[in-house]
Structure 1
Amino acid sequence: MGKSSYGLLPLALFCLPYSPASALSVAGVFGNHAILQQGVRVPVWGTAKEGAQVEVSFAGQQVTATAGAQGQWMTWLGAMEASSKGRKLTVQSVNHRLEFENVVVGEVWLASGQSNMQWTLKSCASRLKEVKIAMEDKTNLGIRMLRVGTPDSPHFRPLDRNRLRWQIDSPASRPSQSAVAFFFARKLARELKVPIGIIESSWGGKPIEGFIPLKAFARHAALQPIVALAATNRLEELKRMEGGVIIRNTAGMPGRIFNSRLAPVAPFAVAGAIWYQGESNAGTGEDPRNYRIKMEALITGWRQAFMQPNMPFYSVQLPAYRDEAFGWIRLREEQRLSLAIPHSGMAVTIDLQDTDIHPANKIDVGERLARWPLSRQYDQELIPSGPLYKETRITGSTVRVSFHHLGGGLMIARKEGLGPPRETPATDLAEFELAGSDGVWHAAAAEIESEEVVVTSPAVSSPVAVRYACGGAPENPNLYNRAGLPASPFCSNLEFLPWAPPAAAK
C-alpha cells in the first residue's frame, strides 16, 4: 500500500538556510506526533556545522549524513511498515540532540487550495448536523494534522517550529480543521486501518498562481507573461491578458504561497496531494482560460519539489453556485481537461446543491476524493469517478456521447442530502444542449441507450457540438453511473464555451 517513487534532484533546492547560531536543526515539518510515510524511503534534512556528522534514529534504524559547505545535510530512513505505535525520532550530532516524541508511520497527504479546502468543520457544522455529529465523535481514527499557515514570501521561507505542531485528531482539535481534509482522511483511515497524516496549507481567496513554484511558469509559454507582468507591477495588463489573474495582494503573486507553505515542507515523503481551488480564478472579471495549463505547472512543480515525478494529485471540480457565476462554467471544463495530466483525478460535485459559495456538505466531497487513492493506490475495487466525457459520434441530427468510468452503467438519478442518489428512470435526462456551426446552444432531448447518451434537438438539424450541465448553477444535473457518482459537466468544443458573459468577453 501507499507506494511512491522518488527521483533525484539537487539537495540545494530543498535545504534550510544555514545559521551558525544554530548548530543543529531539522526541517520544521518534523515534530512531536508527526506521521512518516510508509512503504518508501523517508528523507530527513536540516542544517548543522559544516562537516558535522549527523545521525538520525527511528524505529531501530540509524542513518547518517555529513553537513555540506553551506551546512546542509540530508539522509534517508529505509522504507517502513505502517504502525500506530508512537516512537521517538532522534536527530543528533556530536554536541547537540533533538528528540521528537510519539512519531508513527502511515499514509501522509498534502491538502491545499483556497477557502473551500480551508473551510473548517466548525463552520460546516453550524449548517449541517451530520458534520456536527462527526466533529463531536469520540472515535479514535488515527488521524493527525499539521496546519501550515505561514505568511507569503518572495523567497524560500523556512517553517518556524514554534508556530506549528502536529495535532492528534480528537473532538477538541477538529473544529478548526479543514472539513474536506478531515472527511478525506476519515475515509482512508476507516478503509486502510493505518494512521493518516494531513499537511494542510490552504489559503482562502487566493488564485492558483500563488501556489505554483515560480520556475514552473517558465515551462509554459502561455504562463510566462504572468511572471513578467507581476514582477514589474503591471497588474492591469495582467488582469486583461488571456488567462490573466487579478492580483489583490502579495499572496496572489506567482510562487509566494508555494515559497512559504509548500517549499519548506518538501521533500517530506507523502502519498499524494488533494486540491480544492478555482473560485479566485473564475470570479467577476477574472479569466479562467488556461487554468488547465496552470494546473499542469502546479502539479509538475510540486512533483519536482517533493522528488516524486508521479506523485498522485486529486482535485475537486467546482460545484454549482449561481447562474451569474459565468466563469465557473469554463473553469469546470478547464479542470476536467486537466485530467489529461498523468496520475491525476477529480471529484465531481456539480450535484451537491448549495446557495453558499462555501457548501456545507464537505462529507461527500472528502469521500469522493478518497475514492481515487482507494481505487488507484490502495487496490480497492471501487469506481473512482462518475462518468467523464470520452467522445462524440455525430450521424445526421443525432449525437451519441460515450464516457469513461461507466461504473456498471449509466442512470438517471437525483441526490438529496447526504444519502445516495436515488434512481428516477421515469424522469427525463436533463441539462444537455446542442450547437450547430453557428455556436448557438439549444436545449436538447437526451436518453440513455446502453452505454451512451443519445442527444437530439429539433432546433439543430446539423449539430457539431454537445455540452452537459454548463450553467453557473445547473438546476438538475441528473446523469450518474450505477456506482452513485455524478457525471462531470463537459463541452465537446471548447471554442463554443464562453468564459464570460458576451458583453465582457474579449
Structure 2
Amino acid sequence: MKTFRLFVLSTVISCTIQAQVRLPRLISDNMVLQRETQLNLWGWATPGENITISFAGKQYETITPADGHWRVAIPPMEAGGPYDMKIDASNHLTIKNILIGDVWLCSGQSNMELSMVRLKDKYPDVIAASTNPNIRAFNVATRMNWQQPLEDLETGSWAMADPESVLQFSGVGYFFAKELYEKYHIPIGIIRAATGGSTAEAWLSDEALQQFPAIYNSLRLRDQTYLDSIRKADQKASDNWYSQLWWKDKGMQAPVKWFDNSYNPQDWKTMNIPGYWHDQGLKNIHGVVWFRKTIQVPASMAGQPARLFLGNVVDRDSVYLNGQLIGTTQYQYPPRKYPVSAGMLKKGTNTIVVRVINYTGNGGFYKDKPYQLFTATDTIDLKGPWQYQLGAATDPIPPAMTFYTQPLGLYNGMIAPLLPYAIKGVIWYQGEANADRATEYCQIFSALIKDWRIKWAGMHTMQNFPFLYVQLTSYMASHPQPTNSNWALLREAQLKTLSVPNTAMTVTTDIGEWNDIHPLNKEDVGKRLALAARKLAYHDSLLVSSGPLYKDMTIQGNKIIIRFTNTGKGLLAKGGPLKYFAIAGPDEKFRWAHAEIVNNTVVVWHESVSKPVAVRYAWDDSPLEANLYNQEGLPASPFRTDNFKAIP
C-alpha cells in the first residue's frame, strides 16, 4: 500500500510539472514589447491546459493544443507602461515591469557584439549618466545548432540601463537606442544577437541557404557524428599543441621561472615595443617569447593603485609585475588594460614581464597603441627597448574549424528562437568575415535580409521591416598607390545591397582605426544608424540621412565629372583639398588624382591621363583620409565607376 501511494503521488507531481506553463526567456520581467503591431505571447504546456492571460486591463484565453505549444495574440498597443502581466493555469506566473515601445534586433559580428565595458575609458561620462529605465537590453548568448531551429534560448534576461548594467549592452546598440529615445521619448528595447567572427551565411536559414548550392552542399555539420568527431579532433590537437608548448618553454621549466623577481636575465637581447618580432630578429617564429622591462617608480607612485596598458598583443599574453601575475588575455583583439592593486608598486626598481604566445602569423605588439603604467598623478611610458628571450619555438597551432563561420548554425541557435517576438527592425554590423569572398556578399546579404523578413512575417503582421546596416570601416594599413582591396569590394557589395527595399547603410570609413578591427568610436556609429532609422523607420522629413552616394559620371575631355545623391545642402571637402580619388585611362592603371567640387559635382583629373575612363574613391582597406562629405557632416561611401578585375 505504501509503495502504491508513493507511485500515485509521484505520478501526480510528474503530471503537474508537465502541465505547468513555461515561458520563453524573452517573455520575462522588464521586457519591451513592440508597439502598434499585433503581439505574440507564447510558451509550452501540457496539451489541453487552460491558460488565462491578464494584461493591460484585458484578458486573453487559450487552450494548449496537441503539440504543447500555445500562443496568444495581443492587439496592437500604444507606447507606454509599465505593466504587469499575470498568467494563470495550473501554475501562476507574473511578469513585472513591462514597457510598450520599439524593439530593435542588433546583429552581426564582433563590432555589434562589443559591449560598453570595452568602451568605459572612452565614454566614462556617458556610462555614469546612463540610468534610464526606458532603455532596456536583452543579450542572446552565442549558440549554434545544425540539426534544427531551436525554440528557446538557454540564458538571458532583460536589463534596464544604469551604470552597472549598461556595461553589458552592445556599444553600437546602446548609442543607437539612446539617440532614438532622446528624440522620441519612446521606450527602446535592444536584443543583441551577434557573434564575433561570424559569416553572413551562418545567419541564414536552411531554406535560404538552398539558393547557394555550393555553400548548402558543403554543410556536413548536420551529421552529429561528424560534428562530434570534428570537435574531438580539434580539441585534441589544441591540447597537444599547448602541452608541447608548455614543456618546451624554457621560461616555465627553468628552476627559477623567468617571471620571478629573482631571475637574472643574462644574455637576453633587446627589442623595441611596440613592434613585431618578425621585424626585429625573430623571423618565422611561433611559440613563446618573453619580454622584460625594468622601470624606476617614483615615491609618488609607490603603493598606489595603478593601471597597466599594453596595447594589443598577438596573440596571447600573461603579464607579471614584480613576479606576480596581474592579468592574462587569450586572443589578440581585446586591449590589454590590467589593474595594479594598491601596494604592488614599490619605490625604485620594479620589473614587468610579459609572456607572449603566438599561434600563427606575426607575433608581437600592435603599433600606435598606449603602452604605459599610470596612477592618478603619474605616468611611466613603456614604449622603447625591452629585453626579450625565446622561450619555445613551435609550428603554428593546427587549424581548427571555426564553427561560428559555418552556414546555418547561428540562425538555428540565435535567430529562430526570436521569431515569435515582434520587432521594429534590425541594425546589422558584419562583413569582415566575408571580405575574402566579397564578390558573393551582395547575394548572400540580400538573401539574409529577405530570409529574416519572411520568417518574421510568418508569425506577425509586419512586412519588410527596416534593415539598417553599417558599411565596413577602415582597417589595416593604407597603400601608397591605388591597389586591389577585398575590403573595398565588400563595401561595394554593401553599397549594392541598398537596392533591397527598405534598407539603409551607414558609412564609417572616417571613424575606423587602421590598427584595430574594433574601433572605439561606437557613438558616431550608433548616431548615424539612428539618423537612418529616423528617416526609414520613423519617417522624419530629413533632407539626408546618409553621406553622398555615387550616381553617375560624365567624361569631358581629360576630366571625369561625378554626380551624387544624398548631397544634402551641398558637397564638402572636409579639412582641405579632396583626397583619395584615383583615375584611370584605357590602360586601366589607376593613379591618385586631383579632385575638386564644382557645382555640387566632383571633377577628377590627372595630367598624365588624357583619355580617362574610370574613377575610384576611397578604394583601399583603410581610407581614413578620404574626406568627401555633405554639409550635414556625413561621409561619402567609397565607390568605383569601373568593373575592372585587377589593377596593374
Task: Compute the TM-score of the two structures, normalised by the length of structure 2.
Answer: 0.66
Higher Cα radius of gyration: 2
Residues 249-328 of structure 1 correspond to what in structure 2 (within 5 A)?
249-282=402-435, 286-307=436-457, 308-323=462-477, 326-328=485-487
Do the aligned residues in 1 keep the contact of 2:19 with 2:49 (CA within 8 Å)?
A: no
Do the aligned residues in 2 keep the contact of 1:143 with 1:186 (CA within 8 Å)?
A: yes
Matched, 1:49 2:85: no
Give the distance between the partners of 2:400 and 2:74, measured in 1 at CA. Answer: 41
Deviation at 1:138, TM superposition (A): 4.7
Question: Which residue in the other structure is 1:440 paired with?
Answer: 589
Do the aligned residues in 1 keep the contact of 2:504 with 2:536 (CA within 8 Å)?
A: no
Greater Cα offset, 449-458 or 45-54 = 45-54
Q: Secondary structure at the match of 2:573?
A: strand
Question: Which residue in the other structure is 2:572 paired with?
Answer: 411
Give the distance between the partners of 2:217 and 2:45, measured in 1 at CA. Answer: 37
CA 1:404–1:303: 2 relative to 1, 3 Å: same
Residues 490-501 of structure 1 correspond to what in structure 2 (within 5 A)?
490-493=639-642, 495-496=643-644
Residues 85-124 of structure 1 correspond to what in structure 2 (within 5 A)?
85-93=81-89, 95-124=90-119
Cα RMSD between the aligned structures? 2.4
Deviation at 1:217, TM superposition (A): 1.8
Matched, 1:27 2:24: yes
Q: Secondary structure at the match of 1:264?
A: helix
Matched, 1:395 2:395: no
Deviation at 1:191, TM superposition (A): 0.4
Give the distance between the partners of 1:139 and 1:101, measured in 2 at CA. Answer: 19
Q: Secondary structure at the match of 1:149?
A: coil
Give the distance between the partners of 2:400 and 2:174, measured in 1 at CA. Answer: 30
Identity fraction in percent: 34
Greater Cα offset, 113-122 or 315-324 = 315-324
CA 1:198–1:439: 2 relative to 1, 3 Å: same
Residues 412-431 of structure 1 correspond to what in structure 2 (within 5 A)?
412-414=573-575, 427-431=576-580
Q: Secondary structure at the match of 2:18?
A: coil
Matched, 1:227 2:376: no
Could you list the runs of 5+ residues in structure 2 that have no partner in the other structure?
Answer: 1-15, 231-398, 480-484
Deviation at 1:205, TM superposition (A): 1.5
Greater Cα offset, 144-153 or 49-58 = 49-58
Give the distance between the partners of 1:398 and 1:22, measured in 2 at CA. Answer: 76
Question: Which residue in the other structure is 1:371 paired with?
Answer: 531
Question: Which residue in the other structure is 1:238 paired with?
Answer: none
Deviation at 1:189, TM superposition (A): 0.8
Give the distance between the partners of 1:366 and 1:230, measured in 2 at CA. Answer: 35
Do the aligned residues in 2 keep the contact of 1:141 with 1:189 (CA within 8 Å)?
A: no
Question: Which residue in the other structure is 2:136 paired with?
Answer: 144
Greater Cα offset, 464-473 or 106-115 = 464-473
Q: Secondary structure at the match of 1:135?
A: helix
CA 1:22–1:459: 2 relative to 1, 3 Å: farther
Question: Which residue in the other structure is 1:39 paired with?
Answer: 36
Question: Which residue in the other structure is 1:240 paired with?
Answer: none
Give the distance between the partners of 2:580 and 2:555, measured in 1 at CA. Answer: 19
Matched, 1:78 2:75: yes
Residues 233-248 of structure 1 correspond to what in structure 2 (within 5 A)?
248=401
Question: Which residue in the other structure is 2:609 paired with?
Answer: 460
Q: Which amino acid aligns with 2:618?
A: A
Question: Which residue in the other structure is 1:197 paired with?
Answer: 189
Give the distance between the partners of 2:400 and 2:593, measured in 1 at CA. Answer: 40
Count of aligned pairs: 447
Q: Deviations over 1:86-129 (max 9, x none)?
A: 21123333x23332111111111000111111112121223x2x
Do the aligned residues in 2 keep the contact of 1:491 with 1:497 (CA within 8 Å)?
A: no
Deviation at 1:394, TM superposition (A): 2.4
Could you list the runs of 5+ residues in structure 1 that have no partner in the other structure?
Answer: 1-18, 236-245, 415-426
Greater Cα offset, 196-205 or 391-400 = 391-400
Greater Cα offset, 146-155 or 195-204 = 146-155
Q: Secondary structure at the match of 1:447?
A: strand
Matched, 1:134 2:126: yes
Give the distance between the partners of 2:402 and 2:604, measured in 1 at CA. Answer: 46
Do the aligned residues in 2 keep the contact of 1:442 with 1:459 (CA within 8 Å)?
A: no
Deviation at 1:160, TM superposition (A): 4.2
Give the distance between the partners of 1:497 and 1:487, measured in 2 at CA. Answer: 23
Give the distance between the partners of 1:213 and 1:403, measured in 2 at CA. Answer: 36
Residues 177-188 of structure 1 correspond to what in structure 2 (within 5 A)?
177-188=169-180
Deviation at 1:375, TM superposition (A): 1.7
Q: Which amino acid aligns with 1:466?
A: V
Give the distance between the partners of 1:88 and 1:476, measured in 2 at CA. Answer: 52
Deviation at 1:473, TM superposition (A): 1.2
Q: Secondary structure at the match of 2:175?
A: helix
Give the distance between the partners of 1:20 and 1:215, measured in 2 at CA. Answer: 36
Give the distance between the partners of 1:437 and 1:174, measured in 2 at CA. Answer: 55
Give the distance between the partners of 1:488 and 1:36, measured in 2 at CA. Answer: 35
Deviation at 1:230, TM superposition (A): 2.4
Q: Secondary structure at the match of 2:444?
A: helix
Deviation at 1:226, TM superposition (A): 0.6
Give the distance between the partners of 1:329 and 1:318, measured in 2 at CA. Answer: 9
Deviation at 1:452, TM superposition (A): 1.4
Deviation at 1:80, TM superposition (A): 0.8
Q: 2:150 aligns with which of 146, 157, 166?
A: 157
